[in-house]
């Protein structure tokens, strides 16, 4: 009997993939996508069926491994936050040229409003760029249902499918009706033929084949788009994914039809039909004005199209029921005004966190060097930018601390210090360290190792217990690989070592290692519960 | 019937556990439910909030529109006040009265209390001390849920108690009993008139 479950959007995707006969999930943790892989890791079916589910070193290794599983005939899911798609863009775009064998679904969770991110890039542009089908569910039930459709379409078209979520859907729970039937996994059946070898002569043929599939992609997406009649005349509304919920919440009276889009390429015929019966079109979409730009372009300059570009909706930030209601002409009379007494309460490093001791020591030493620059990276320790430490000068992308410190040192910066976490180091820091070693760059690298991927909730870190040997293998002089335990009692020792290594003209690495206070606390509570 | 509830507090105070209990009760009652949560960076000691929407009809938006919330349940008074523009005129605020001060510019607590008193429907109690006095220091959030229970209306206290039993079952009978006790304590505390401090 079908069962009702309370699921996050992320969990609905995960369960949908399990029910669709998934053989492997490949991912690097990233808000708001992390809970997909975690759900699969905890699910009994994963153990029963031997579904591959460990964390990967980064999104590129994840995407390529998933492509390999697809090559072998099995269904693979790869999950990431939106900026992760930048990391694996090479593999993603070229997977559209090779095509796939087993179904390959690439899930990108976008973060409009940048709740936990450095930008609000819209992954749909990547899907269009790679010329693959894009799915964008509007709610948790669709998230569950569409995953299987995405796998089926991937196998039918022999293309990867991009599956887009936004934070608000990824991290919101709703009741989802789950059927009984669980699809069997695909058999192991490796691909035949030479079209996976992207030598120019083959790639040109494959690119033509990809172009040849575009008509079919459009027809599929056209069929999936649905009209809802409201008034029959007035403003036409195109709502993409989650935006449809906000439009329905506002229950606007003066609109002609609501055209709900959950698949791309955009359904041009239906959009033309809508335009024909409406006075103008309002495009409501979360993220960047991806659809609005295209709709305005193909309806021509004379047809009024509004949305984020025209200012009818805010240009940035996630949608919410209030801005959508306002764009549809709703007037809100609020009972209470926002209170002036309320001040912001930003996140902070936890009490007792080792990153605090790292920054304390670093600030002590660098107070002697007014020209010092500290290149930061992505993780909990980015909070070192805020008071009381204000210890870093940059945070750009995963791994950039090391390479930016190197580039700045090349330009004459001294001291040039990089601070990176353990998981970020194995994600994208190691190759940059190799560059620094080969150039004998004068940088001091601090790896703040808390034995986990902490920011996203404590997932396994790919290089735990191997940082000294990794740095040594990359070619850092063994006497300049130093290990310290970041706790208040050790501050004199840490500052002494920091001073020495800043003085050393070359690459030095200081590994400050102490377990994350959150994962430690969980471990101790679990031990206590098991005992008592 | 619908109930739009804003849960708010500081990362680590246990608002998601309150949401889990209400959610469990709602699913068992066959209600529709949407619950937007905060995960990731904001959980580290920052303000956290969750929109919880319950209805006997399908719900569209995961977020509550401004001016439509029926209830704020807050683990902290400033965090209760942060969302008042979401309330409608007859809505309730049920909050812990003790400030959680982890920022240097936390407002004067007497002034906060005064601001809170300007709202027509407020239940404010020191849940920490209530929980401690009853030797239930880990169940302060269930005291708060008990205080809020009469205003959740779409679910009965019995349904919420049954949900507490199911949610905490895997932690053992003792934890279930403590949380039920805390819930009942909150219900009683909310009934008592608080005399204005002279």
Tell me, what CATH number does A239's domain have? 3.40.50.920
Which residue, chain included where needed, has tokens 């299987």?
A148
A60 found inside a domain: yes
Enumerate residues 175 to 234 of chain A having a beta carbon within 8 A of any beta carbon in chain B.
Answer: 175
Residues of chain B with C-beta less than 8 angstroms from the C-beta of A337: 84-85
**Mean pLDDT to the nearest integer, A329-338:** 89
The answer to whether the beta carbons of residues A25 and A51 sit under 8 Å apart is yes
Which strands form A255-261's sheet, in the order they lie side by side? A226-229, A255-261, A235-240, A280-284, A305-306
Rounded to the nearest angstrom, the minimum Cα separation between B120 and chain A is 11
Q: How many CB atoms are closer than 10 A to CB A264?
A: 25
Among A212, A247, A263, the domain-final residue is A212
**Chain B contact present for A248, CB below 8 A:** yes
Q: Where do we find the tokens 């690459």?
A: A507
Look at A336 and B66 and tell me if their CB atoms are within 8 Å: no
User: For residues B108 and B110, what is the distance between their CA atoms, to the nearest angstrom?
Assistant: 6
Query: Is B198 inside any structural domain?
Result: no
CB neighbourhood size of A82 (10 A): 26
Alpha carbon of A338: minimum distance to chain B alpha carbons (Å)? 5
Residue B152 structural domain? 2-191
Could you give the angle at which helices A89-98 and A59-71 cross, rounded to 10 degrees?
20
Do A275 and A359 lie in a common domain?
Answer: no
A 3-22: CB under 8 A from B? 4, 6, 8
Nearest-CB residue to B65 (from A32, A325, A343): A325
Contact yes or no for A321 and B45 at CB 8 A: no
Contact indicator for A102, A70 with CB cutoff of 8 Å: yes
Q: Which of residues 35-64 of A touch B (CB under 8 A)?
A: 35
Average pLDDT, whole number, for chain A?
Answer: 96
Verify whether the Cβ–Cβ distance A349 to B44 is below 8 Å.
Answer: yes
Q: What local confidence, expressed as pLDDT, does residue B60 receive?
A: 97
Total H helices, total E strands in chain A: 22, 18
Q: What is the pairing mode between strands A3-8 and A172-178?
A: antiparallel
Q: Dihedral of CA B114/B119/B120/B122: which sign?
A: negative
Chosen for mutation from A228, A260, A336 (greatest number of chain B CBs closer than 10 Å) is A336
CATH code of the domain in which A472 resides: 3.40.50.970
Distance in angstroms (rounded) separating the CA atoms of residues B170 and A351: 29
Of A171, A172, A322, the CB nearest to B66: A322
Smallest Cα distance from B145 to chain A, Å: 19
In a domain, B49, yes or no: yes
Pair A229, A165 in one domain: no
DSSP A50-117: T-B-PPPSSHHHHHHHHHHHHHTT--EEEEEETTHHHHTHHHHHHHHHH--SS-EEEEEEE-TT-SSS
User: Given CB atoms, is A334 within the 8 Å cutoff of chain B?
Assistant: yes
The shortest C-alpha distance from A229 to chain B (Å) reads 17
Angle, CA B82 vertex, CA B78 and CA B84 arms, to 5°? 115
Chain B residues close to A335, C-beta within 8 Å: 67, 87-89, 91
Mapping DSSP to helix (H, G, I), strand (E, B) and coil, where does residue B172 land? coil
Task: With CB atoms and an 8 Å threshold, state whether A455 touches B41.
Answer: yes
| A304 and A361 together in one domain | no
Say yes or no: A8 and A133 in one domain. Answer: yes
Domain check: are A173 and A53 in the same one? Answer: yes
Residues A28 and A146 in one domain: yes
Task: Classify residue B196: in a domain, yes or no.
Answer: no
| DSSP label of B57 | S
Q: Is residue B106 domain-resident?
A: yes
Kindly report, residue by residue over A346-400, the tens digit of the pLDDT.
Answer: 888 999 999 999 999 999 999 999 999 999 999 999 999 999 999 999 999 999 9
- Candidates A248, A317, A319; CA nearest to A285 is A319
**DSSP run (H or E) holding B94:** strand B87-96
For residue A34, list chain B residues with Cβ-Cβ distance below 8 A: 39
| Chain A CB contacts of B65 below 8 Å | 249, 320-322, 325, 332
In a domain, B120, yes or no: yes
> What are the b/e assignments for B83-116, b being 16+ CB within 10 Å?
bbbbbeeebbbbbbbbbbeebeeebeeeebeebb
Could you check whether the bond before residue A415 is cis, i.e. omega within 30 degrees of 0? yes
- Closest Cα to residue A132, out of A79, A94, A78, A188? A94
Percent of chain B with pLDDT strictly greater than 90: 85
Instruction: Provide the pLDDT confidence category of residue B41 given band limits of 50, 70 and 90.
Output: low
Quickly state the pLDDT bin for B197 (edges 50, 70, 90): very low
Residue A210 in tokens: 């990809």
Closest approach of B26 to chain A, Cα-based (Å)? 10
- Round to whole Å and give the CA distance between A67 and A50: 18
Q: Does residue A456 belong to the interface with chain B, where contact is any CB pair within 8 Å?
A: yes
pLDDT in tens, A163-216: 999 999 999 999 999 999 999 999 999 998 899 999 999 999 999 999 999 999
CB-nearest partner of B67 from A320, A332, A349: A332
Band of residue A345 on the pLDDT scale cut at 50, 70, 90: very high
Q: Write the pLDDT tens digit of every residue in A468-511.
A: 999 999 999 999 999 999 999 999 999 999 999 999 999 999 99
pLDDT digits (tens, 9 = 90+) for B3-12: 999 999 998 8
Preferred mutation among B11, B61, B82, B89 to probe A, highest tally of A CBs within 10 A: B61
Let me know whether A96 and A235 are in one domain: no
Q: What residues of B are in contact with residue A344 (Cβ under 8 Å)?
A: 47
Q: Taking a contact as any Cβ pair under 8 Å apart, which residues of chain A between 335 and 394 contact chain B? A: 335-339, 341-350, 380, 383
Q: In what order do the strands lie in the sheet with B2-10?
A: A3-8, A172-178, B32-36, B47-55, B2-10, B69-74, B87-96, B122-125
User: Is the per-residue pLDDT at B42 higher than 70?
Assistant: no
d(CA A13, CA A19): 10
Which residues does chain B have within 8 Å of residue A172's beta carbon, measured at their own beta carbons? 34-37, 62
Same domain for A107 and A198: yes
Question: Residue A316: its pLDDT value, please?
Answer: 98
In a domain, A70, yes or no: yes
Question: Which positions in chain B touch A347 (Cβ < 8 Å)?
Answer: 11, 41-46
* Cross-chain Cβ contact B65/A322 below 8 Å: yes
Is residue B22 situated within a structural domain?
yes
Domain assignment present for B197: no
> In this structure, are residues A512 and A447 in contact, taking their beta carbons and an 8 Å threshold?
yes
Tell me whether A114 touches chain B (CB under 8 Å): no
A237-276 pLDDT, tens digit per residue, is 999 999 999 999 998 888 999 999 999 999 999 999 999 9
Burial (CB < 10 A; 0-12, 13-18, 19+), residue A382, is buried
Query: B41 and A4: CB-CB below 8 Å?
Result: no
Q: Is A247 helix (H, G, I), strand (E, B) or coil?
A: helix
**Which residues of chain B lie closer than 8 angstroms to A321, CB-CB?**
61, 63-65
Q: Contact A174/B82, CB-based, under 8 Å?
A: no
Q: Does the CB of A321 have a partner CB in chain B at under 8 Å? A: yes
Contact B35, B23 (CB under 8 A): yes
Our count of domains for chain A comes to 3
Q: How far apart are CA B175 and CA B79, in angstroms?
A: 27
The tens digit of pLDDT for each residue in A442-474 reads: 999 999 999 999 999 999 999 999 999 999 999
CA atoms within 13 A on the CB side of A435: 16
Nearest-Cα distance to chain B for A110, in Å, is: 14
Q: Is residue A337 part of a domain?
A: no
Name the minimum distance, in Å, from the CA of B89 to any CA of chain A: 5
A347 domain residue, yes or no: no
Q: Respond yes or no on whether the N-terminal peptide bond of residue A32 is cis (omega within 30° of 0).
A: yes
Terminal CA-CA length for chain B? 41
Across the interface, do B105 and A529 touch by the CB < 8 Å criterion? Answer: no
Strands (DSSP E) along A113-194, which ranges?
134-135, 161-166, 172-178
What separation in angstroms does the CA of B101 have from each of A344, B4, B29? Answer: 12, 28, 38
pLDDT band at B40 (very low <50, low <70, confident <90, very high): low
Q: Quick check: B85 and A380 CB within 8 A?
A: no
Q: Are A49 and A175 in a shared domain?
A: yes
Q: Are residues A61 and A153 in the same domain?
A: yes
Q: A212, A242, A267: which is the final residue of a domain?
A: A212
A6-61: pLDDT as tens digits: 999 999 999 999 999 999 999 999 999 999 999 999 999 999 999 999 999 999 99
List the strands of the sheet with A24-27, edge to edge.
A24-27, A76-81, A104-110, A161-166, A134-135, A263-264
* A68: containing domain: 3-212
Give the pLDDT band of residue B106 (cuts 50, 70, 90). Answer: very high
CB A242 within 8 A of CB A168: yes
Give the model's pLDDT for residue B198: 37
A6·B27 Cβ contact <8 A: yes
Q: How many domains does chain B have?
A: 1
The CATH number of whichever domain residue B78 belongs to comes to: 3.40.920.10
The CA distance from B61 to the nearest CA of chain A, in Å, is 5
Q: Based on the domain organization, do A24 and A82 belong to the same domain?
A: yes
C-alpha A435/C-alpha A443 separation (Å) is 12
Judged by a CB distance cut-off of 8 A, whether residue A518 touches chain B is no
Of chain A, the end-to-end C-alpha distance in Å amounts to 38
Closest Cβ opposite residue B39 in set A171, A332, A346: A171
CA B193 to chain A, closest CA, distance in angstroms equals 25
Q: Which residues of A319-334 are buried (b: 16+ CB within 10 A; e: fewer)?
A: bbbbbbbebbebeeeb
When comparing pLDDT for B42 and A331, which is higher? A331
Q: Phi, psi at residue A260, to the nearest 5°?
A: -95, 125
- The structure tokens 């002279």 sit at B198
Kindly indicate the confidence band of residue A150, based on its pLDDT and cuts at 50, 70 and 90: very high
Question: What is the token pair recorded at A496?
Answer: 């002494």
Residues A304 and A370 in one domain: no
pLDDT, tens digit, 9 for 90 and up, residues B113-139:
999 999 999 999 999 999 999 999 889
């Amino acid at each position: 009997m079908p069962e009702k479950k309370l699921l996050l959007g992320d969990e609905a995707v995960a369960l949908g993939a399990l029910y669709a006969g998934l053989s492997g999930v490949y991912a690097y943790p990233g808000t708001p996508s992390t809970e997909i892989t975690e759900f699969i890791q905890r699910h009994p079916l994963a153990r029963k069926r031997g579904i591959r589910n460990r964390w990967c070193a980064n999104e590129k290794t994840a995407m390529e491994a998933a492509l390999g599983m697809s090559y072998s005939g099995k269904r693979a899911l790869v999950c990431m936050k939106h900026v992760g798609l930048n990391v694996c863009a090479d593999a993603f775009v070229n997977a559209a040229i090779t095509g796939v064998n087993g179904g390959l679904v690439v899930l990108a969770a976008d973060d409009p409003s940048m709740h936990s991110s450095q930008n609000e890039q819209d992954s749909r542009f990547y899907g269009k760029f790679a010329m693959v089908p894009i799915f964008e569910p509007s709610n948790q039930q669709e998230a569950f249902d569409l995953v299987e459709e995405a796998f089926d379409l991937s196998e039918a078209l022999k293309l990867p499918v991009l599956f887009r979520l936004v934070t608000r859907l990824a991290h919101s729970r709703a009741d989802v009706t789950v059927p009984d039937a669980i699809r069997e996994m695909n058999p192991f059946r490796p691909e035949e033929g030479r079209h996976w070898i992207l030598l120019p002569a083959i790639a040109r043929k494959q690119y033509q084949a990809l172009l040849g599939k575009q008509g079919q992609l459009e027809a599929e997406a056209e069929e999936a788009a649905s009209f809802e009649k409201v008034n029959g005349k007035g403003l036409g509304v195109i709502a993409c994914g989650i935006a449809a919920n906000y439009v329905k919440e506002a229950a606007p009276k003066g609109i002609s039809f609501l055209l709900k889009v959950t698949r791309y390429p955009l359904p041009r015929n239906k959009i033309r039909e809508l335009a024909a019966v409406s006075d103008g079109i309002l495009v409501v979409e979360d993220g960047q004005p991806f659809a609005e730009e295209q709709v305005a372009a193909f309806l021509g300059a004379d047809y009024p199209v509004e949305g984020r570009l025209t200012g009818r909706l805010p240009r940035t930030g996630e949608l919410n029921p209030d801005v959508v209601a306002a764009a549809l002409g709703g007037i809100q009379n609020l009972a209470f005004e926002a209170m002036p007494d309320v001040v912001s309460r930003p996140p902070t490093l936890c009490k007792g966190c080792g990153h605090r001791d790292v920054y304390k020591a670093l600030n002590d030493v660098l107070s002697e060097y007014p020209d010092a620059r500290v290149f930061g990276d992505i993780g909990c320790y980015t909070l070192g930018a805020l008071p009381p430490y204000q210890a870093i000068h940059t945070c750009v992308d995963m791994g950039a601390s090391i390479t930016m410190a190197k580039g700045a040192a090349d330009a004459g910066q001294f001291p040039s210090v990089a601070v990176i976490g353990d998981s970020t180091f194995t994600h994208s820091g190691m190759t940059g360290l190799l560059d620094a070693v080969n150039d004998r760059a004068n940088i001091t690298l601090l790896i703040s190792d808390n034995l986990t991927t902490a920011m996203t909730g404590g997932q396994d870190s790919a290089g735990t217990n191997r940082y000294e040997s990794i740095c040594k293998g990359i070619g850092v002089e063994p006497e300049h690989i130093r290990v310290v335990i970041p706790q208040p009692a050790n501050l004199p020792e840490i500052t002494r070592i920091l001073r020495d290594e800043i003085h050393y003209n070359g690459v030095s690495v200081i590994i400050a290692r102490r377990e994350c206070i959150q994962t430690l606390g969980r471990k101790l509570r679990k031990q206590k519960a098991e005992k008592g | 019937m619908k109930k739009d509830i804003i849960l708010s507090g500081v990362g680590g105070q246990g608002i998601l556990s309150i949401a889990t209990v209400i959610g469990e009760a709602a699913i068992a009652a066959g209600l529709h439910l949407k619950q937007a949560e905060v995960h990731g960076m904001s959980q580290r000691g920052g303000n956290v909030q969750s929109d919880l929407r319950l209805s006997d009809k399908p719900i569209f938006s995961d977020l509550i529109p401004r001016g439509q919330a029926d209830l704020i349940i807050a683990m902290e008074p400033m965090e209760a006040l942060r969302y008042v523009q979401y309330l409608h005129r007859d809505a309730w605020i049920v909050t812990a009265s003790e400030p959680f001060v982890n920022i240097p510019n936390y407002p004067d607590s007497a002034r906060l209390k005064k601001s809170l008193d300007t709202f027509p429907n407020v239940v404010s109690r020191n849940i920490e001390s209530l929980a401690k006095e009853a030797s239930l220091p880990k169940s302060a959030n269930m005291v708060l849920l008990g205080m809020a229970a009469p205003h959740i209306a779409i679910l009965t206290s019995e349904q919420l108690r049954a949900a507490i039993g199911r949610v905490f079952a895997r932690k053992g009978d003792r934890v279930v009993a403590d949380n039920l006790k805390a819930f009942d304590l909150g219900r009683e505390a909310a009934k008592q008139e608080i005399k204005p401090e002279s």
